[in-house]
Amino acid sequence: MPTPFDKPILVTRPFLPSLEEYQRGLREIWDNAWLTNNGPVLQRYTRRLESFFGTPNVCLFNNGTLALQIGLQGLKIEGEVITTPFTFVATSHALFWNRLTPVFVDIEPDTYTLDPAAVEAAITPRTTAILAVHVFGFPCRHAELSAIAARHGLKLIYDAAHAMGVTVDGRPISHWGDLSMFSFHATKLYHSIEGGALTFADSGLKKTFDYLKNFGFENETEVVIPGTNAKMNEFQALMGLLVLDHLPALIARRREIVARYRERLAAIPGIRLPPLPPSNVAWNHAYMPVEILPEFPLCRDALYEHLKTYNVFSRRYFYPLLTDFPCYRDLPCRDPLTVARGVADRILTFPIYHELALDDVSRICDCIADR
Ligand code: T4K
């Protein structure tokens, strides 16, 4: 029987660069006495991300949620937006803050991303956009979604909060659709403490996003639109710059962790491992999701509690479905969300972070098997 871990094993743990490296950057910030409002570190970070994403159309924000809110506002989306119920609440909250109506439709069983057929079936004359999520870093069916968007004259927006470092056919997926939002929150595999980025197709939007995140200021005396304050500060930018250097190593390390989990969990009846993405996708191994099937001796929630007795803290990302939260429950929803409901009831995401030792992964799997 496995023994409980001495210290809690949480679902994630942020990567931190060496303190000395960060202190060297702090020295520059101190010398500049420039802490926020488009400072030199932020500008350097923006250039780095432009080359990382392969586009000059990059705008940085103090978090992913505000980035998405501003993205939707800048694109002037109105009416109904077709989206997924299987995501973090921020996805649909960003619609709410823009007075848009989310229309929730079902997801696919293997990638947990929007089902294109369900999207097309939900289009009405009020539909103006599709907001899809690359959940767990699994890329959406972009070819199908963009064909639907083109056929019906809809905007295609990606919540790519989980997709930093994912490439398809060797390219980052930041160029997909009209706009993508990447979250750089501390719990993500890549982070800037808190932070977010928009990448977008129309270079004319850059100016709009710059206004929207900085009160609408054109200069000291002119305000051109009623913007908000969503600026990334220098300390965040410094962290983002430093962590970027480590991104390939972080992804490689997670690949090993996922491989160990999959090797050990494959032998346990009642645990479903979602298929790995196809070979043209370089996945970022952002999360370690599994489904707990009826054949497993414990239901999902009982396993979640059982693991706590070993000091292992898994998470039910993403349960409940957004449609079950009081703020969205009363919205009309024609789609029965059959797949999404099943997945939300079965999903469990296991701890994954760069410092998690492979022996500890094996030990977590022993705890899962011991019930
Ligand atoms: N769209 C999607 C699809 C998203 O997943 C998210 C965010 C967004 C949009 C919005 O992006 P942001 O505005 O956040 O940039 C966490 C994160 O706060 C959230 O960023 C993330 N998604 C979501 C999936 O997870 P919680 O409520 O689970 O966080 P919390 O505080 O419970 O932390 C999770 C674990 O991480 C805990 O076990 C503790 C550990 N942790 C956390 C922090 C902050 C640490 O060890 N160190 C830390 O500094 O939401």
287 and 205, same structural domain?
no
Same domain, 214 and 258: no
Give domain status of residue 149, yes or no.
Answer: yes
Rounded to the nearest angstrom, the distance between the alpha carbon of 270 and the centre of ligand 1 is 28
Residues 90 and 146 in one domain: yes
Any ligand 1 atom below 6 A from CB of 62: no
Assess whether 189 and 257 both reside in one domain.
no
Q: Does residue 309 form part of some domain?
A: yes
Can you give the pTM of this predicted structure?
A: 0.98
Q: Is the CB of 187 under 6 A from ligand 1?
A: yes
CA of 188 to the centre of ligand 1 (A): 7
Q: Say how far apart CA 364 and CA 370 lie, in whole Å.
A: 10
- Ligand 1 proximity of 14 Cβ (cutoff 6 Å): yes
Cβ–ligand 1 contact at 166 (below 6 Å): no
Our count of domains for the chain comes to: 2
Can you read off the two tokens belonging to residue 271?
């645990």
Q: How far is the CA of 128 from the centre of ligand 1 (A)?
A: 29
User: Does 257 lie in the same domain as 221?
Assistant: no
Question: What Cα–Cα distance (Å) separates residue 162 from each residue in 159, 243, 275, 335, 360?
Answer: 8, 16, 17, 25, 24
Q: Which of 216, 242, 268 is where one domain is finished?
A: 242
186 C-alpha to ligand 1 centroid (Å): 7
What range defines the domain where residue 316 resides?
246-369
Our answer on whether the CB atom of 16 is closer than 6 Å to any ligand 1 atom is no
Q: Give the pLDDT confidence score for residue 1 in this predicted structure.
A: 81
Query: Which atom of ligand 1 is closest in space to residue 183's alpha carbon?
Result: 15
Q: Give me the CATH number covering residue 167.
A: 3.40.640.10
Q: Is the minimum distance from the CB of 316 to ligand 1 under 6 angstroms?
A: no
Q: Is 136 in the pocket of ligand 1 (CB under 6 A)?
A: no
The response to whether residue 90 sits with its C-beta less than 6 Å from ligand 1 reads yes
CB atoms near residue 24 (< 10 Å): 12
14 lies in a domain? no
Give residue 190 CA to ligand 1 midpoint distance, Å: 12
Do residues 184 and 57 both lie within one domain? yes
Cα(90) to ligand 1 centroid in Å equals: 11
Domain containing residue 338: CATH number = 3.90.1150.10
Closest ligand 1 atom to residue 65 Cα is 13
Residue 349 CB–ligand 1 contact under 6 Å = no
Judge if 265 and 231 occupy the same domain: no
Mutation test residue for ligand 1: of 7, 11, 88, the one with most atoms within 8 Å of CB: 88
**How many Å lie between the centroid of ligand 1 and the Cα of residue 194?**
10
Q: Is the CB of 112 under 6 A from ligand 1?
A: no
Report the pLDDT value the prediction gives residue 371, as an integer from 0 to 100.
74
Tell me, yes or no, whether 61 and 209 share the same domain.
yes
Residues 184 and 78 in one domain: yes
- The answer to whether the CB of 107 is under 6 A from ligand 1 is no
Q: Is 322 in the pocket of ligand 1 (CB under 6 A)?
A: no
What is the structure's pLDDT at 90?
Answer: 98
The last residue of a domain, from among 192, 222, 242: 242
User: Would you say residue 326 lies in a domain?
Assistant: yes
Domain boundary among 224, 242, 260: 242
Atom of ligand 1 nearest to the CA of 315: 28
Same domain, 32 and 165: yes
Radius of gyration of the chain (CA): 21
Residues 322 and 357 in one domain: yes
Per-residue pLDDT of the chain (371 residues), as tens digits, is: 889 999 999 999 999 999 999 999 999 999 999 999 999 999 999 999 999 999 999 999 999 999 999 999 999 999 999 999 999 999 999 999 999 999 999 999 999 999 999 999 999 999 999 999 999 999 999 999 999 999 999 999 999 999 999 999 999 999 999 999 999 999 999 999 999 999 999 999 999 999 999 999 999 999 999 999 999 999 999 999 999 999 999 999 999 999 999 999 998 999 999 999 999 999 999 999 999 999 999 999 999 999 999 999 999 999 999 999 999 999 999 999 999 999 999 999 999 999 999 999 999 999 999 87
The verdict on residue 11 lying in a domain is: no
The response to whether residue 88 sits with its C-beta less than 6 Å from ligand 1 reads yes
Cα–Cα distance measured from residue 283 to residue 230, given in angstroms and rounded to the nearest whole number: 29
Looking up tokens 């294109």, which residue turns up?
116
User: Which atom of ligand 1 lies nearest, measured to the CA of 13?
Assistant: 46
* Residues 261 and 364 both lie in one domain: yes
